[in-house]
Amino acid sequence: MTVALTYGRQVEDAALADLLDYLAARNYAFVTPTAGTHGRGRDRGLAGEDSLRDIFGWSRPFTADQIDPALLAIIRRARIVEEQDDSLRLTVRVSTVDRRLYLHSAPTRSADAVFLGPDSYRYARFLRHALGEAPPFSQALDIGTGAGVGALTLAGGWPGAAVTGSDINPQALRLARINAAHNRVAVTLVECSGLPAQPRRFNVIAANPPYIAGAMKRTYRDGGGPLGAGLALDWVAAALPRLTSGGRFLLYTGSAIVQGEDLIRTELERLSSLHGFALEYDEIDPDVFGGTLRQEAYRDVERIAAVGAVLLAP
C-alpha cells in the first residue's frame, strides 16, 4: 500500500514508512508500559542484546556505530534523531498492539505528543469485546484517534466497514496515516476537534479520550473539566444524535471516584435516560494513574478507575 504523504514532508514520511518496513522484516515487537515502568526499565539498562528494542522501544541513547548503517540512513532521512553530547536519541518510538506496529512519540512533555501506552492496549481489547457479538456495521468513527489504535482495530477487525479517525493534532494524524498504510488497513483521517462537521451518521462511534485534569494542558492527556471528565462527556453528548438506529457509542476512559461515587457513570446514566439509550457499563481496572492523586485537583478523589461503557441507540 502506498503511504499518503503529508504535504511538505514527503521525504520524512516515506522514510518513516521505510522504518516500519525495516523493523517488521526483523520481527521487531515491543509493548509500551506505563511511564514509570518505562523510566525504570530504561534507566536500569535491562539485560539483552536486542539493540532495536533498546532504541525504538526503551528510547535508550545510542551511537552511530551501534546500528546498521542502512537503518541510520533511514532515521536521518526521517529527521527523528537528536544529537545529545556523543550519543543519539530518537524522537519517536515504535510499539506493537495486536501484532501491528505503531509509530508514536518518544517520552515527552510536548503538548502535541502522540500517546500510546497501556490505555491503548485496554482500549483495543475493549473494542473487540464490545463488538464481538454485535451485528456487522458499515460506518464507524474513532474520535481522538491518536496513533490510530482504535481506528485500525475497528477497520482491521471488521474489513467491510468504512472507518474514520478524527484528531485535533496534525502530528497524530500524520503518524496514524503512516501506521495505517504500513499495516495495510484502510482508514479515513480527519483533522477536527471531536466529531467531523459533516452531518454523517455512524453505526459505531468509539472514543478513548484523555481523562486527566491538570494545569499543563497536554492535548493527549488533559480531559478538561474539574476532574478530567469534560471531554469524554462532551463527545458522548455530541455523538449520540449522530448514531443510526441500533448504533453504539463505545467509550473507554478513566473516571474519578469520589466518596464511592463513579462520576462518569452517574453522568452517562443521565445522558442515556435523556436520549432513550440503553447503557452497559464495566469497571475494567479499579486503580490507574495512582500517582495523579498527589495533584491538588484530586485531593478529594479516592482512585481513578478505567471504565468501559456501551451506549445502545433505540
Q: pLDDT tens digits for 18-35? A: 999 999 999 999 999 987
User: Lowest mean pLDDT: which of 44-48, 74-78, 139-143?
Assistant: 44-48
User: Lowest mean pLDDT: which of 2-11, 215-224, 277-286?
Assistant: 215-224
Q: What pairs with residue 94 in β-bridges?
A: 103
Is the per-residue pLDDT at 233 higher than 90?
A: yes
Q: Is the pTM of this model over 0.75?
A: yes
Q: What is the pLDDT of residues 63-94, one digit of tens each?
A: 999 999 999 999 999 999 998 888 999 999 99
Residues 39-54, mean pLDDT to the nearest whole number: 72
pLDDT band at 223 (very low <50, low <70, confident <90, very high): low
Sorted by where each begins, the domain ranges of the chain are 10-99, 112-312
pLDDT averaged over every residue in the chain: 90
CATH code reported for the domain at 112-312: 3.40.50.150
Residues 107-132, mean pLDDT to the nearest whole number: 92
Is the per-residue pLDDT at 221 higher than 70?
A: no
